[in-house]
Amino acid sequence: MNDYLNGLNEQQHKAVTFPLGKPLLVVAGAGTGKTKTLTSRVAYLIKEKNIVPSQILAVTFTNKAAREMWERVEQTVGRTLLEGFKVNGGARENALGYKPIGKTFHSLGVQILREQHEKISVNKYFKILDTDDKKSLVKQAMKFHDIDPKVWEPRKISSVISRAKGDGKTWETFKENKNPLTGISKLVWEKYEELKSAESAFDFDDLLSETYFLLKNNAEVLEYYQKRWKYILIDEYQDTNTIQYKTIRLLVGENKNIFVVGDGDQNIYSWRGADMRNILNFEKDFVGAETIILETNYRSTKNILSAAHEIISKNTQRVEKVLRTDKGDGDKIIYYEGFSGKSESSWVATQAKNYIDTGTEPRDIAVLFRTNFQSRLLEEAFLNKMIPYQVVGTKFFSRKEIKHVMAYLRAALNPESLSDIKRIINEPKRGIGKVSVIKIFAGQTDALPAKARNSYEQFQTLLMLIANHAKTHLPSETIKFIIEQSGFKRVLSAGSSDDVERLENMQELVTYSAKYDTAEKPFETFLEEVALLSDQDSLGSNKKDSNTVKLMTIHASKGLEFKHVFVVGLEQGLFPSDRDDSKNKHEDEEERRLCYVAFTRAKKVLHVSYAKMRTIYGQQRINEPSEFLRDLPDDILEFDVSSFGGGTSVYVENDTYIDDNGDEKTSYLSF
């Protein structure tokens, strides 16, 4: 009956079977089986404590993690129980709508806001603004106030607004300080909110902040969700920001059944508001709370864990723990010193090809870097070696043609979404020019030329047809309907090879959307998950990317694992990033936490490298090895024989590298 408990170690078992009615913090080091512990806790609540599944709310940070969590729960508990039951005199009876809830913080916000949309006076199918949409509205707000975007960068204003929302502020409560940017941001913020409201739209930050204010200001709504979710589990608790923390406190209320899992050593998102004090102060915030520490690592070898410990142990803001493993010492950490960024990338590609040629699957290899610009040289090297690779990201949904199709669907379901209408009103071309669009948005359709007015009326009819089609058809069928009825299929199939490729991408969207056809709320789930896709969620979304070497930032790699991991660009000033007077101790320590996360992605072999010369922003820079490399003891390192370093004086002549413009240059430097 409880076989799932047999595979747990002592500390995991203690956490899974922790008594109800008391808050628990599980400090789970990298690779210590936190997901297994979390899912086993859910199974324990359902199977052993007879908890109604719908009373369980588990929250994590990516759709991918949420899906994996419930797949594991289903395997452990069985589909029948997850379909739901209610307790009636001690007997379990099948009942619809009693499924447990597994969400990301943002998708939880979407669910609550959609369910309560009438209370906040928004369209049920409100639009979730992506980065480009948000940037566009911020620029419109700036233009309204005659604020020059060349003087005041829209991205910085957007960042100020985002951070303030994460801290639980509104434009009314946001206070200016001596920095003029805050005053400008407050002015823009007010107009930005007005523009969003007109479109019945929310940005990513609103999904958190608006949910919090809804719960805080509506006692009946809060009571409803407190009674609905009596057992709350939070994954990656160290990554919660102020508004997420406050929302959790509201939902928990006087209830003591909160179970959180996290690791302060993997707190790497302070730049977007993650507050590690939430995990450090857990026992103070929740009276009677206890802490259990998981230290048995099931992922990496001793040498890899030793390297990670050497990095993280120098931090002071942490819960002390030392990861253990029974995997043995394993291979030493392979250390490479490249002359240039090109040399380093070529070495990585060569090593990856050697692994693949000797039987390693490409999907078991990852290359991690601190910043996105580093991927270009790596891509060039992998292309030269003809190695299949994927730069992890959500590029598919950033394609113009995919955005067009999604805009049609959103505009049909939410006619107030002006930015979507603006995007597609003349896509494909239907004779509605910019002047006509201005008149339409100004409510002056009677002033349109006859041809443009006729085209606009046909466009409105098309949106109504799509909306009606969606009422009786599945997402995949409706996406196909949009492609055909909009004219995209006819226009693109008769166009250039690039046009045909765009049509193929649209058709791939039909395939992708089919996985939502069986969802309880197909269109809501489809629109929500596409809007909230993270970098990791793109993994495997395209069949041709499934068995490829993954190139990604360290931030994007969190939660993943690979047999062979390359951590590149370990240069002082790049990783760790440049220090300046504005950096505090927490930010310095976060760089070490980032390195710790990178190292602990490796299961079998960890490779570390740096380039003695690298071109950044058009400037050649001579580099010192990162302090993280200097922290590693020699007895766990294996220096690659092809390195230029090792204390030997080397004169390198005619070494070529690629500058930021993609031009090949020649360098004459000696070491």
Tally of CA atoms within 13 A in the half-sphere of 151 that contains its CB: 9
Q: Where are the alpha helices (DSSP H) in 540-643?
A: 554-557, 585-599, 627-631
Catalytic site residue from 37, 76, 266, 478: 266
pLDDT band at residue 313 using 50, 70 and 90 as cut-offs:
very high
Q: Does residue 422 carry a catalytic annotation? A: no
Distance CA 17, CA 511 (A): 42
Q: Does residue 601 carry a catalytic annotation? A: yes
Q: Does residue 535 carry a catalytic annotation? A: no
Q: Does residue 235 carry a catalytic annotation? A: yes
What is the predicted pLDDT for the residue at 302? Answer: 97
Catalytic site residue from 14, 17, 22, 35: 35
What is the predicted pLDDT for the residue at 35? Answer: 87
Write the pLDDT tens digit of every residue in 278-309.
998 999 999 999 999 999 999 999 999 999 99
Catalytic site residue from 12, 34, 242, 351: 34
What is the predicted pLDDT for the residue at 81? Answer: 62
State pTM to two decimals. 0.81
The residues that bridge with 656 in the sheet, in sequence order, are 666
Helix H or strand E segment including 24: strand 24-28
Q: Is the distance from CB of 231 to CB of 56 less than 8 angstroms?
A: yes
Q: Is the distance from CB of 45 to CB of 5 less than 8 angstroms?
A: no
Distance CA 273, CA 180 (A): 21
CA-based nearest residue to 554, from 600, 615, 616, 621: 600
Helix H or strand E segment including 68: helix 63-77
Cα–Cα distances (Å) from 421 to 141, 426, 628, 647, in that order, read 19, 9, 50, 63
Helix-helix angle 154-166:131-144, to 10 degrees:
110
Average pLDDT, the chain: 87
Q: Which of 132-141, 393-402, 619-628 has the lowest mean pLDDT?
A: 393-402
Sign of CA dihedral 91, 92, 94, 100: positive
Q: Which of 125-129, 228-232, 306-310, 644-648 has the lowest mean pLDDT?
A: 644-648
Catalytic site residue from 236, 275, 420, 528: 236
Residue 659 in this model has a pLDDT that exceeds 50: no
Catalytic site residue from 205, 235, 401, 427: 235
Residue 53 in this model has a pLDDT that exceeds 90: no
Catalytic site residue from 423, 480, 592, 601: 601
Write the pLDDT tens digit of every residue in 504-558.
889 888 988 998 998 888 999 899 888 887 655 555 545 555 799 999 999 999 9
Write the pLDDT tens digit of every residue in 559-602.
899 999 999 999 999 999 875 445 566 678 999 999 999 999 99
Q: Does residue 477 carry a catalytic annotation? A: no
Write the pLDDT tens digit of every residue in 115-124.
999 999 999 9
Q: Which residue has the tokens 């507050």?
A: 275
Radius of gyration of the chain (CA): 27
Q: Which residues contact 109 (CB under 8 A, 6 or more apart)?
A: 207, 208, 210, 211
pLDDT band at residue 87 using 50, 70 and 90 as cut-offs:
very low
Q: Does residue 247 carry a catalytic annotation? A: no
Q: Which amino acid is at 276?
A: M
What is the predicted pLDDT for the residue at 512? Answer: 86
